[in-house]
């Protein structure tokens, strides 16, 4: 009985700002993750199925445009060549859209305190937001894969599942971290739209999704190899077709290092409170 008052006194006498929760706050992390997932699931027609239809239209347009021409790229039919790139491109774009939304809306609407007040560490906050964005990316990827598989004349069988999983995960994480950095920096929706239109979209479209970079002039080929999206597309395509126009292990390791750098940037900026707590 005497130990209870002592424990209570120790709790009350903790210094201001000293963390009282030790280890990982699994309950809080789970709640944040579920909240973020439910947010986009409620409008899944817009957040999951619409991207699948939009991406399928790319495939339809290119297939119809070629007509009866049996064009091949890297030894496979053109439709089979672009299908994996379309899948992972949709995954990355939707991961960015999801992670760039929450904190930005909180800053604009004045509800950012809902993310700052709960007893969540900086790492837990990042894990909840990025985890939900990656979840949306894989749901969109599954929807696009299903829509592509139903289109006649396109084969989307997976030759190397681990490669497809790794590069899909690395691409989703990369754009999730980039979206989180955007939501920290942006002060209005125009700022986030600018990153989407002038950074994400060009890097996606110029990543070798619709062509092999080996067909480019040396200068443009070198520029393509400096684009991290290219390694995601190439590695993910390897998972489906067993063919790639970049060294697989170089891309796998380079994307891991890049994601660690992006995580460190997110962690440092959120911990400092830059443009959030000010």
Q: Measure the CA–CA gap between 138 and 168, rounded to whole angstroms.
A: 8
Two structure tokens written together for 4? 């209870």
Global model pTM greater than 0.75: yes
Q: pLDDT tens digit string along 46-72?
A: 999 999 898 888 888 877 766 555 678
Below-50 pLDDT ranges, the chain: 1-13
Q: How many CB atoms lie within 10 A of CB 88?
A: 30
Residue 111 contacts residue 105 (beta carbons within 8 Å): yes
Q: pLDDT tens digit string along 86-121?
A: 999 999 999 999 999 989 998 888 888 888 888 899
Please report, for the chain, the start and end positions of each structural domain, with discontinuous segments joined by +: 40-272
Two structure tokens written together for 201? 């979209």
């Amino acid at each position: 009985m005497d130990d209870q008052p002592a424990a209570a006194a120790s709790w009350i006498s903790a210094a201001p700002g000293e963390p009282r929760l030790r280890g990982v706050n699994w309950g809080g992390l789970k709640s944040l993750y579920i909240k973020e997932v439910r947010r986009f699931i409620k409008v899944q027609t817009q957040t999951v199925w619409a991207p699948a239809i939009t991406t399928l239209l790319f495939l339809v347009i290119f297939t119809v445009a070629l007509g009866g021409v049996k064009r091949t790229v890297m030894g496979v039919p053109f439709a089979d060549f672009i299908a994996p790139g379309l899948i992972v491109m949709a995954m990355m774009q939707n991961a960015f859209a999801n992670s760039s939304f929450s904190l930005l809306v909180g800053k604009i609407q004045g509800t950012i305190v809902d993310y700052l007040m709960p007893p969540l560490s900086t790492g837990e906050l990042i894990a909840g937001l990025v985890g939900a964005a990656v979840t949306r990316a894989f749901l969109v990827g599954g929807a696009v894969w299903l829509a592509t598989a139903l289109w006649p004349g396109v084969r989307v069988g997976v030759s190397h599942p681990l490669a497809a999983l790794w590069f899909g995960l690395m691409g989703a994480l990369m754009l999730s971290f980039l979206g989180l950095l955007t939501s920290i920096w942006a002060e209005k929706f125009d700022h986030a739209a600018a990153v989407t239109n002038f950074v994400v979209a060009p890097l996606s479209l110029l990543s070798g999704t619709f062509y092999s970079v080996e067909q480019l002039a040396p200068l443009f080929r070198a520029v393509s190899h400096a684009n991290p999206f290219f390694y995601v597309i190439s590695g993910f395509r390897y998972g489906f077709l067993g063919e790639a126009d970049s060294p697989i292990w170089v891309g796998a390791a380079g994307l891991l290092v890049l994601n660690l750098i992006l995580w460190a940037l997110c962690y440092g900026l959120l911990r400092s409170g830059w443009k959030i707590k000010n």
